[in-house]
Amino acid sequence: MSLPDVSSGPDVERAGTGRAAATRRRPFALLGSELGLLFRRRRTWAMLGALALVPILIAIAVRATTGPDRGGPAFLGDITNNGLFVAFTALTVSIPLFLPLTIGVVSGDTVAGEASHGTIRYLLVAPTGRLRFVLVKYVGTVAFALAATLLIVLVGAAIGALLFPIGPVTLLSGTQVGGWSYAGRALLLALYVAMSMLGLSAIGLFTSTLTNVPVGAMAATVVLAGASQVLDQLPQLDWLHPYLFSHQWLGFGDLLRDPISFDSFGANALLQLGYVVVFGALAYSRFATKDVLS
């Protein structure tokens, strides 16, 4: 896990004062500055590149190890019959580990990274306001989650079309839809997965306000993501499962039926909204009383 790209010292101070000046000039400058800083970092592109490798490696592995006369799991047969399933398989593989890992890194660095570099004071002197600061940091994490899921879907569709035949897709309900119709469903899947990361993003934002050490906040967020999934697998805690933020992560089957049902989408949205409200409020409460100007 790499450290933030920006080092401490005079360069950081100049960057902080520059962002503060831009914030005074334009109402939405802080959000633009945050998104620009996030997506200019080599670490961000390295994580996106690693996520893009997931569908590529899956497609290459299936292409190299399966054939008309070889067996294997059903989903591998789906990929060999239709390359559009690469995107779906890559999303399913990425949800338990790879996406939470990258979201934990980005969200854990939101406030703690600025605190470790000493740039918060310049942003708040702008004046930015602490509530606006917290909201902008959270929106930046959400933007990364959306970009990551869309990247997996797009790369999966591209490599699937390159290595396998493309044709009508058989949905879970047994009906077939054309490639363009499935593309729309794939985008809905990406939105579902990105929405599934909203609760974890809020938790990461909160942990980031508790420390000035970004690596600590990153690690805590990733560990909580793993712990939630472990608890969700214990039948003794079935009463707790509906309240775990990871409980609906793989519940996108309704989007692959005909007609589309948005029941799981709505349930997941409500669950994630609860975590956003609770941990967003905790993050702001902690940051509002945090001494960042000394």
- pLDDT of amino acid 130: 84
Q: Read off the tokens for 63.
A: 């292409």
Q: Which residue has the tokens 């019959």?
A: 81
| Greater pLDDT, 180 or 104 | 104
Q: How confident is the model at residue 145 (pLDDT cuts 50, 70, 90)?
A: very high
pLDDT tens, residue by residue, 77-123:
677 778 888 998 999 999 999 999 999 999 999 998 888 877 776 66
pLDDT given for residue 245 in this prediction: 97
For residue 189, count other CB atoms closer than 10 A to its CB: 21
Confidence of residue 289 (pLDDT cuts 50, 70, 90): confident
What is the percent of the chain with per-residue pLDDT over 70, rounded to a whole number? 83
Alpha-carbon span 130 to 65, nearest angstrom: 54
pLDDT of residue 127: 56
Mean of the pLDDT values across residues 64-68? 67
DSSP symbol at 242: G
Comparing CA positions, the residue from 133, 97, 98 lying closest to residue 208 is 133
| pLDDT at residue 11, rounded to an integer | 47
Asked if the model's pLDDT at residue 243 lies above 90, the reply is: yes
The predicted pLDDT at position 10 comes to: 47
More confident residue, 69 or 205: 205
Mean pLDDT estimate for the chain? 85
- Amino acid in the structure at residue 104: G
**Global pTM value:** 0.86
Closest CA to 128 of 229, 207, 17: 17
